[in-house]
Structure 1
Amino acid sequence: MARLIAFLCASLVFSTPAVAGAWLREKGASFTSLALTAFSEPGKDIRFKSSLYGEWGMRPNLTLGLDAEEHQDLYGHAVVFARLPVAEFSNGGRLAAELGVGAHHRETRAWAMYKATLSWGKGFQARYGSGWMAADAALEYRSHDALIRKLDLTVGLSSHRRVNPLLQIETSYVPGRPLYWSARPSAMFRSDSGPNTWIIGVERNAAQDRPGLRFALWREF
């Protein structure tokens, strides 16, 4: 795992990404992502985590979206959000802000959830083609719990090759609790015809003893 992460980082020595935290969708353009991750623990059943993510360009300076995740009916969340541009720094990248509201649950109990995110993104040209890097810093308040601080990093290539690398790292922290983290090195397979991109990778996180296998489908329309 460490060698694979190191290789992906080294190969990025930034084109607009499909998952675009700091970028807004063009008016009328949409993007969806469906993902499933399976974890297998010794002596336990296989556990699944699924997610649905979508964006729609309502106006040139306003993107609306949905972010939902479910852990086999045990816990999960769903948040609707609005993204607005904040600043553009030419060669220094760009900033965007998101405000979201929704709910999260643990088994049959549910609570309100609010989220504010500041995203930075930058495109680049590298030896192996064009790509992007993004950082998302968020404050997430769940009405029955403490304020959660999150920092996510994404780096990937978006050249015209059939296969491109992608690395996603997510962290979250609540004071007095251990830091949670996950790392997802993946390969993106671009369809020859149509707007689909298939993602195959692995996920290693602080809650699982073994890495999980991840499949995702991105679609732009």
Structure 2
Amino acid sequence: MASPAWPGAWLRAKDSAFTAASVTVFTDDYGYDYKSALYAEWGYRENLTLGFDFEENRDIYGHATVFARVPVADLNNIGRFAAELGVGVHHRHRDAWALYKATLSYGKGFQTGWGSGWVAIDTTLEYRTHDALFRKLDITTGLSAPRLLNPLLQIETSYRSGDPLYWRVRPSVMIRKQDRPTTWVLGLERKDARNDMGIKVAIWADF
């Protein structure tokens, strides 16, 4: 089966871990803008994965959360479901507030003429205590054939009542030698919030 980037419906095997660190750089009217992110998860038990998610947009705003993921159903060829609960903090400048989130994830592996792949769909309710309830829908799909380069596509959306839909699209290429535990990811990021394009560089590692 494929090895998903952010597994969603997949849990980590007991005592195994995954980390992803990234930097995205944008150009704008004032020069350059950037964001950094760190994601990690660990298979605490066969049916329980624990994780950490951090993102910082320059020093202006960002979040940090811890989460736990458990399996919900494995429907074999139809796909699988998992649930995730998280708690953390969101900040803007020096002000910080609590946030809570609940996610239901669906995932399915598939085969194509270009190799095996996967698709993951995550639906999330995220409540920021200082702000509002956000409804999110994220889609990740990619191939994991035994070759140096494989494609990856991530689409993220977010909506809160009274605001237009926020989205960002990130087509990328994964670069990995089969005998190495690390994967390099190089991609472009486009989002509706600003009329610009970002370049993202990430490194993933399995332990």
Identity of paired residues, percent?
58
**Residue number among 7, 12, 15 corresponding to 2:2 in the alignment:** 15
| Pair 1:36 & 2:23 matched | yes
Q: Does 1:118 align with 2:91?
A: no
Determine the C-alpha separation between the residues in 1 that align with 2:43 and 2:196: 38
Q: Which residue of 1 aligns with 2:131?
A: 145
Runs of 4+ in 1 over 3 A off after TM superposition: none
Distance 2:3 2:108 in 1: 9
Which residues of structure 1 form unaligned runs of 5+?
Answer: 1-13
Partner residue in 2 for 1:195: 181
| Separation of aligned partners in 2, 1:207 and 1:79 | 23
Asked whether the 8 Å contact 1:16–1:123 carries over to 2, the reply is no
Figure out how many residues of one structure are paired with residues of the other and give that number: 207
The aligned counterpart of 1:91 is: 77
Give the AA of the match of 1:135.
I
Quote the Cα distance in structure 2 between the aligned partners of 1:186 and 1:141: 30
TM-score when normalising by structure 1: 0.92
TM-align CA RMSD: 0.9
Deviations 1:133-186 (A, max 9, x none): 000000000001110000000000001010000000000000100110000000
Aligned to 1:7: none
Q: Which runs of 5 or more structure 2 residues have no equivalent in the other structure?
A: none
Secondary structure in structure 2 of the residue aligned to 1:40: strand
Q: Which moved more, 1:201-210 or 1:22-31?
A: 201-210
Larger % of strand: which?
2
Contact 1:16 / 1:23 at 8 angstroms: preserved in 2? no
| Counterpart selection for 1:72 from 37, 58, 68 | 58
